[in-house]
A and B are shown apart, each in its own frame.
Chain A
Amino acid sequence: MDVILDNFDLFWQGWLRTIQICFFALLGAVPLGILLAAARVSPVPSLRTLAGGWVTVLMSCPLTVVLFFMAFGLPEIGIKGSYFWFGTIGLALYSASFVCEALRSGINAVPTGQAEAARSIGLSFMPSLGLVILPQALRSSLPPLTNAIIYLIKNSAIVGAFGVGHDLFAVADTLTAARGLAALPVLAGVIAGYLLLVLPIGRLLSLIETKVAILR
């Protein structure tokens, strides 16, 4: 316990840094995911193929490889930046494909009868999309979306493992390796830090989920 209290400052900074990474990554991943999902369900075949290819490639490629590619590959062609931004952007690009799949699974979960009913009462494209399909689709995509967000938070540790520096994972590394402190309490503190992020967010989102769930 002493280890955590003595280094509380460091833990606190690391926690904030992790939140920072997650926040910026989400800020990129969610809009990009929405765009990708829109492209994947659009009537334009080339857009569908393009977005589908993007999602397939990024979902089959380990995040580590994406990050290595960004952090060590891109500087070779003159794109320079801090690890923080490479890591965060890499995480955002990677997570966007999961956000996209979550949204798409929600759209697929809407029964076809809903769209048919909307059309047969005379709603045109925009109203049937905006009033009937999307509200249902968004609700059913909440559970996988929750997972995508939690997944992103946990993956931020991989970004940290790259030495973005000063996030929770890096705190674990510095304290145990460089300062030679006992690993158990340090890592317990770091794990607690992640759980403090993941569990409340998961709880909150599942509360919203039950609130808006569609009973079919």
Chain B
Amino acid sequence: MSSGTLLYDALGPRAGRRVRWFGVVTGAVTLGVLFLVGEKLATEGQLSADKWGPLIDPANPRFSTLWSFLAGGMLNTLIVAVLAIVCAMAFGTAMALLRVTSQPWYRWFVVSVIELLRGIPVVLLIFFLARVLPEIGIEFSTLTFLVMGLALYNGVVIAEIIRGGLQALPRGQKEAAQSLGLSSWHTLRLVLLPQAFRMMLPALIGQLIVVVKETSLGFILSYEELLRRGQIAIQSLHNPLQMFFTIAVIYIVINLGLTLLTRRLERGARKKAPGTPADDKTPAAPLPSPAALPEVRV
């Protein structure tokens, strides 16, 4: 809505009528498309109890087996996601610190590691680890490979987020810490880093959403997360459309929950942020605009 007021004035009676017309047409077209899709599904026999029963009908004999199987997959997904985000946070913080404290003679190396890891598709990184490490005699479980790949990739993304946070802090914070006699390490750890984390919290949670989505790449290693389990179940149930629909709904529900959490945190951060002296831990500068931050996707 905020963009709405920017692009057009409050609607007058004529524009209001036109907009209502448009609304009616959009609604009608949407309903029409939905109807056509429904009809198509019905004629192709995709709405039958045979296909949907195991997924939505508790009376179906396969309902409980299927869902306990899928719940196991969900659990595996969450295990990977949690492990990966924890490792990624640790690795990312380390990389960010390494980058901001680095001396010029080796900074190029840190920067190129970050750029390299950011430039590789994450699916390729996972694949790379799972193929190359066993070749040189390092054997891990598929879970470890998956977590490693996700942690490395998301770690450097997080490193950039934290670096953005550090750079957005007002200079006075560092100067004040130094004039108190704190060493540069203590300045970073006690003064700058906590503030950067706090400011970047929404972006960091946003990265968690990305990680949850990326756990589904476990399918290339045949790690039995939610999607892979769904795939396995399809082999006996023969309902790919219904199964993938249900799995998509599960992912969407998980991620919408996380998105709502991010929004709430963002609002909280914004409320405190712009120069209010209410809380001395609060950074005085306004949050950097989303466009100025390193993006947190992939």
Chain A residues in the interface with B (C-beta under 8 A): 40-41, 43-47, 50, 56-57, 59-66, 68-69, 72-74, 76-78, 98, 104-110, 112, 114-115, 119, 125, 129, 133, 140-141, 143-144, 147-148, 151, 154-158, 161, 169, 172-173, 176, 182-184, 187, 190-191, 194-195, 198-199, 202
Question: Chain B interface (Cβ within 8 Å of chain A)?
Answer: 2-9, 11, 15, 19, 22-23, 26-27, 30, 40-41, 44, 46, 115-116, 119-124, 127-128, 131-132, 135-136, 209, 213-217, 219-220, 227, 231, 234, 240-241, 244-245, 247-248, 251-252, 254-256, 259, 289-292, 295, 297-298
Contact indicator B216/A108 (Cβ below 8 Å): no
In the complex, what distance in Å separates the CA atom of A129 from the CA atom of B6? Answer: 9
Contact A184 B44 (CB under 8 A): no
Using A47-B22, A50-B26, A60-B209 as known contacts, say yes or no to A129 and B295 having CB atoms under 8 A apart: no
Kindly report which residue of chain B lies nearest to residue A44, judged by CB atoms. Answer: B22
Q: Is the CB of B46 within 8 A of A119?
A: no
Q: Which of B5, B119, B231, B289 contacts A68 (CB 8 A)?
A: B231
**Interface class of chain A by DSSP:** helix
**Cβ–Cβ contact B2 & A43, under 8 A:** no
Also in contact, A157 and B40, with CB within 8 A (given A60-B209, A64-B216): no
A57 touches B26 (CB 8 A): no
B3–A107 contact, CB under 8 A?
yes
Check B256 against A195 for contact (C-beta < 8 Å): no
Among A43, A62, A182, the most chain B Cβ lie within 10 Å of the Cβ of: A62
Do B116 and A195 touch (CB < 8 A)?
Answer: yes
Tell whether, in the assembled complex, residue B26 and residue A109 are in contact, meaning their CB atoms are under 8 Å apart: no
Given A60-B259, A62-B216, A176-B131, residue A105 in contact with residue B23 (CB < 8 A) = no
**Residue numbers in B under 8 Å from A104 (CB-CB):** 3
Contact A155 B121 (CB under 8 A): yes
CA distance A129 to B295 in the complex (A): 27
Which listed residue, B8, B216, B220, B240, touches A72 by the CB 8 Å rule?
B240
B132 touches A106 (CB 8 A): no
Which of A76, A77, A158 sits near B123, CB closer than 8 Å? A158
Q: Which of A45, A156, A187 contacts B131 (CB 8 A)?
A: A187
